[in-house]
Chains A and B, each alone.
Chain A
Amino acid sequence: MFRKLFLVGLLVLAIGIVPALAQTTTVRYFTFSAAPDHLEDLDTIIAAFEEANPDVNVEVETAPFADYFTLLQADIVSGDAPDVFELNYENFVTYAANGTMLDLSSYLDAAAPFYPRALEAFQYEGVQLALPATFSTVLMFYNADLFDAAGIDYPTVDWTWDDVHIAATAIRALGDDTWGVYSGVQFWEFYKKAAQNGECQFFNEDMTESTINSQACVDTLNMMTSFMTDGLMPTAAQLSGVSDGDLFASGKLGMIVTGIWMIPAFSEAPFNWDVEVEPMINQHANHFFANGVAVSATTSVPEAAAAWAQFLASSEVAANVRVESSWELPALNDPAYFESYLSQTPPANRAAVFTALENPVTPPVIVRQSEMQDTVNALITRVVDGEITAQEALDQAKVELDALIAP
């Protein structure tokens, strides 16, 4: 009797275990950039990957960008991080410093033609913790019809912000609801424009003291706010909930400084528009952003996860799908992809995307990064609101930044 029971038990176990052994490895991939417009494109990439790796099954989880990092943190805290996850360059350092990502150096295919600047962006203390999947730059988009109506010449690569001021004044004169220019006044724009000035540094070379209240920095901040104080750029109250991108897309804004991720959104705008490299103060300096894919440090399937991350970041299929669907630009140094990308219009001057890469600027980085950004942003907001002058704000910023870098 017991023998029979034992045999039946074994049989049941075998029935349970055999399919389990034959099961494929499942890789959980968490993304913010796919939904809702590129889910089918992602499916195409996954199908190609699973065909090449029949024993791996990729499961996709999506979340809206606004909630993505809250969910990712919750996943990591709950001890069940997704095997592979997407993250942007701005969040990379925080996640890297917390040891949440697997060192990908040993899995990296040396032949993968990554754009070197993008690959470096995802290294932390010399370790490759994520792979660049896409990159983007920031350009000046302009409404050519408004330039024609105002009778002024289109922007060129040699433009300075003084030229922008003149053009914005002419466009603003076209009507009460037509604005000249929009270029954000906040930390990210400030360090970039500081680099365009060339003389304005947030810290001295030894990183022992903040120099953010130098005359060059005060001049830079004053230049940034002058568009608002001169009535050429709408304030947050004047925008009253309409985003700067919406304002441009509705044909009521002459120039906007924004990322190339807006190209698809503007492509159906009912007016002629083009792009140019962002104007300079004394020299060119441009933002460079990248989205990367990382493998969780706690994944139980590191090989399969790293293979998927690499396929997503550098395979020919993934690169082609991205270019053809305008799903950002693959971070690959291969002219073939760029040619296909450049042949799409608008904008006619798409080559500016690559010109901007010649002068990339990186943010000043300190250990207490987010506190620095919050401090500077809060003070800049007070300048924008007219509560304090640029000099007063930056004097205060120096005191606070000195405290943040104090040993």
Chain B
Amino acid sequence: MNLSRSPSLPIRTNTSTPARISVRRVLLYAVMIALVAIMVIPFAWMLSTSLKAQQYILETPPRLFPNPLTMESYTGLAERIDLARVVFNSGFVAIATTIGQIVISAMAAYAFARLQWRGRNLVFTLYLATMMVPSVVMVIPQFILIRQLGWVNTYTALIVPSLFNAFGTFLLRQSFLGLPKDFEEAAFVDGANPFTIFFRIMLPLNMPAIATLTVLSFMGSWNSYLFPLFVARKEEVITLPVALGVLQAGPRALTEWNLVMAGAVITVLPILIVYLLAQKWFVQGVVSSGIKG
């Protein structure tokens, strides 16, 4: 719609002086810098603590820039836990879960958005209703099921329960619904069947939403602690967050915070990389779907 203004209405023109603009700008920048600082300082502190020796962590007054700077917490961490193994486990589980979630969510979303079948809306409502059950409540029943299936201490236990994601289905369904039907109809006229339409039209045109789901599900799986804690107890399948959990010493020892922070830095890196790669699409996806993770 074209909303051209009538000449009789007062038109707000930018008549502020350059000085006023710069005051506003300065204020705006000050607020933005403060917000950035609030977000960044914990990360800077994490990095700084990971580069300090144990005895300097609790020094008063605290220092942001480590002096002396040391990598000993990273070597110490590698001595305590089999880093290569747990990073591989976490990465493998996160990638497999993400791919599986996208495939299953996209197919379900297409069925809910476009295919006509009896009871579609009822099934979709029921599927959405599962989002209302807090995941913590499901941990013990799921764990008992996994035990009975004999899946404890296997990758299967870490991957399969998270493949079916109501949120991902909802996100992609909304995105599919936003696409004009004309594309599909044109393809249909050209002789395409639903599978062709799904793979050659729907998926490529919904990349922003798929990128968003990729970041969210990779993050969810990579950071997951509680369920992996239950089902992965052996070194061969243990994931990074669970392995780092043992560094929190509990009441009977001192926690070596530099090691914990070194572990946190290693945990954050892949998420940052995935986010940077998908950033352009991620923001678009969040904006167009009106959902944030």
* Residues of A participating in the B interface, judged by any CB pair closer than 8 Å: 30, 35-37, 59-67, 71, 74-75, 77-80, 177, 242-243, 245-247, 249-250, 252, 259, 261-262, 264-265, 268, 270
Contacts and interface: CB of A to CB of B under 8 A. Distances in A.
B292 interface: no
Contacts of A71: 229-230, 233
Contacts of B152: 80
Interface string B274-293: 00000000000000000000
Contacts of B143: 74, 78
13 contacts: A36-B81, A37-B80, A62-B233, A63-B246, A65-B249, A65-B251, A74-B144, A75-B147, A79-B147, A246-B58, A262-B253, A265-B254, A270-B55
Contacts of A252: 60
Given A61-B234, A77-B144, 17 more contacts: A36-B80, A36-B246, A59-B234, A61-B153, A62-B233, A64-B248, A65-B250, A65-B252, A66-B245, A71-B233, A74-B144, A78-B143, A79-B147, A177-B60, A243-B255, A246-B255, A259-B252
B182 interface: no
A80 B147 contact: yes
Contacts of A246: 58, 254-255
B58 A250 contact: yes
Given A177-B60, A250-B59, A270-B55, A63 B229 contact: yes
Interface string B146-158: 0110001100000
B254 A243 contact: yes
A303 to B, nearest CB: 24
Nearest to B139: A74
Contacts of A64: 245-246, 248, 250
B254 A245 contact: yes
A30 B233 CA distance: 9
Nearest to B256: A265
Contacts of B59: 250
Interface residues of B, number: 29
Contacts of B60: 177, 252
B252 A262 contact: yes
B247 interface: yes
Nearest to A136: B252
B250 to A, nearest CB: 4
B140 A77 contact: yes
A67 B55 CA distance: 28
A228 B143 CA distance: 45
Q: Which of B54, B58, B153 has the most CB of A within 10 A?
A: B58
Contact of A242 (B58, B229, B249): B58
A63 B140 contact: no
Contacts of A77: 140, 144
Nearest to B254: A265
Nearest to A71: B230
A247 B143 CA distance: 39
A17 B234 CA distance: 27
Nearest to B245: A64
CB-based closest 3 A-B pairs:
A65-B250, A61-B233, A265-B254
B70 to A, nearest CB: 15
Nearest to A270: B55
Contacts of B148: 78
Contact of B147 (A78, A242, A250): A78
B246 A62 contact: yes
A63 B153 CA distance: 13
Nearest to B55: A270
Contact of A261 (B80, B81, B252, B255): B252
Contacts of B144: 74, 77-78
Nearest to B238: A62
B101 to A, nearest CB: 25
Contacts of B248: 64, 66
B56 to A, nearest CB: 10
Interface in B8-33: none
B119 to A, nearest CB: 35
Contact of B250 (A66, A242, A249): A66
Contacts of A265: 253-254
A57 to B, nearest CB: 13
Contacts of A79: 147
A66 B244 CA distance: 13
A80 B245 CA distance: 24
Given A77-B140, A78-B147, A80-B147, A35 B254 contact: no
Contacts of A60: 234
Contacts of B147: 75, 78-80
B247 to A, nearest CB: 7
A243 B81 CA distance: 24
A35 B60 CA distance: 31
A4 B147 CA distance: 39
A35 B244 CA distance: 11
Interface string B48-71: 000000110011100000000000
Contacts of A61: 153, 233-234
Nearest to A67: B229
Interface string B182-214: 000000000000000000000000000000000
Contacts of A63: 229, 233, 246
Nearest to B143: A74
Interface in B211-246: 229-230, 233-234, 245-246
Nearest to A247: B58
B193 to A, nearest CB: 43
A253 to B, nearest CB: 11
A67 B140 contact: no
B225 to A, nearest CB: 9
Contacts of A242: 58
